[in-house]
Structure 1
Amino acid sequence: MAKKYTFTESEKQQVEQAVKDLETVSCGEIVPYFVGSSDDYAEASWYVSTLLSGFTLVLVGVLSYTWMLPFRITPMEVAIVAFVALVIGFLFPLLFPQAKRWIIPKERQAQRVRQRALEAFLNEKVFETEERVGILIFVSRQEHMVLVLGDEGISRKVQTADWQTVVDEVVMGVKANQIGEGLVKAIGICKELLLKNGFVRKSTDTNELDDGLRIED
């Protein structure tokens, strides 16, 4: 089984402190959210098992037809070999879940990550801040994908392309197995973007969302 990423207490505190530092000078509200994977991708087992068993049948058929096998093989033996290949193919993604990133089409992974991020955006009530200035930084480790979703107050000024530097910083952290550090740097970039676009903290602002890192393995 793939080893889960475990945040140290120090990493959690650093991420939380980065959120607090941002909200000290800006009216923006940041929700950092981490999941080990956005889906279990159960279909991966069927993809591999079908492919492997089909390939095995074709290979055995070709070898038998061209007389390359040093022995005769009966139809029953062919069926057994194909069944064994099917079982191996089915178990492979379960034993090596990180392989699903290469098995499942990228488009489907992106769709699942976005769906999960939208669910987190709603569940964490990122949309309920007074000035609609909530931001979700959603990290899905298995897929190596990051989404930054801003509420309508921020989205009116900060364009989607502006968030790409935030995404890139976290992705580098995921690839280097330093997700906490990547999040801290990404939150710092968010702070610069917010202040650049006039989202400064006012004396009447309150902390509307929890500052801690949300984690789901």
Structure 2
Amino acid sequence: MTLLTQSEQQQVADAIDRIERDTDAELVTVLAEQADDYHYIPLLWAGLIALVVPGAALFFTAAMSAWQLLLVQWATFIVLALLFRFPSLTTRLIPRPVRHWRACNLARRQFIELNLHHTEGGTGILIFVSEAERYVEILVDRGISSRIDNSAWEAIVANFTEQVHDGQVLEGFLGCIEACGSLLKQHVPATHARNQLPNRLVMI
């Protein structure tokens, strides 16, 4: 993981502060190390593979007793359950739709927990990143979605996702904030000074 340093977090906060001078939008950024601990994944895969072991063992040798098969099965389960707990392996065992579903759920929880749905005029916007899942999403409240079509965010999200995949999280945040700022300045321009939500990067 390349979670940002204090200095890098400040760069994100400064970028948010700059664009909020020109828009009524309230921008919040969240960076999660991962969307779930996935504790059940190593056990699930180890169990599935262990179930196949007796059949495979009997296919290659018929000389094993029931007790020997049971011991081999249990040994397989224990070894794989421990091996699959290594983060680099665990991530590879999780289907992409599952990883994105968990990250998507976390993004929506953060939108609510950070009160982005309670801003004046419904102008909350969340830039959410879950690094382990290589997942990026931009969520906006009704005051922004009524003025900017959701398709406008797709290219920004796609570019940021590629940067997260390459480990360029800070660059991705700064570029994404700048791109969002250009859209927001045009469609949700500043009408009066306000800052209802903190500009700091939220790390979870």
The unaligned stretches of length 5 or more in structure 1 are 66-71
Q: Check if 1:168 corresponds to 2:158.
A: yes
CA distance in 1 between counterparts of 2:43 and 2:17 reads: 45
CA distance in 1 between counterparts of 2:20 and 2:148 reads: 17
CA distance in 2 between counterparts of 1:83 and 1:18 reads: 54
**2:180 — aligned with what?**
190
Q: Check if 1:76 corresponds to 2:73.
A: no
Q: Check if 1:127 corresponds to 2:124.
A: no
Mapped contact 2:22–2:190 kept (Cα < 8 A): yes
| Deviation for aligned residue 1:124 | 0.6
State the percentage of identical aligned residues: 25
Mapped contact 1:169–1:183 kept (Cα < 8 A): no
CA distance in 1 between counterparts of 2:190 and 2:129 reads: 26
**2:89 — aligned with what?**
99
| Deviation for aligned residue 1:116 | 0.9
Mapped contact 1:173–1:183 kept (Cα < 8 A): no
| CA RMSD across the alignment | 1.6
- TM, length-normalised to structure 2: 0.92
Per-residue CA deviations over 1:15-60 (Å, capped at 9, x if unaligned) read 1111011101111111110111111122212221122212322221
SS at match of 1:147: strand
**2:43 — aligned with what?**
46
Mapped contact 2:21–2:190 kept (Cα < 8 A): yes
Letter in 1 for 2:199: D
Alignment of 1:21-36 (within 5 A): 21-36=18-33
Count of aligned residue pairs for this structure pair: 204
Mapped contact 1:166–1:187 kept (Cα < 8 A): no
Letter in 2 for 1:210: P
SS at match of 2:61: helix
**2:202 — aligned with what?**
214
SS at match of 2:50: helix
CA distance in 2 between counterparts of 1:32 and 1:6 reads: 13
Q: Check if 1:205 corresponds to 2:202.
A: no
Letter in 2 for 1:77: Q
**2:3 — aligned with what?**
6
**1:142 — aligned with what?**
132
CA distance in 1 between counterparts of 2:74 and 2:167 reads: 38
**1:68 — aligned with what?**
none
CA distance in 1 between counterparts of 2:55 and 2:133 reads: 32
Mapped contact 1:11–1:181 kept (Cα < 8 A): no
CA distance in 1 between counterparts of 2:200 and 2:163 reads: 18
SS at match of 1:138: strand
| Deviation for aligned residue 1:139 | 0.6
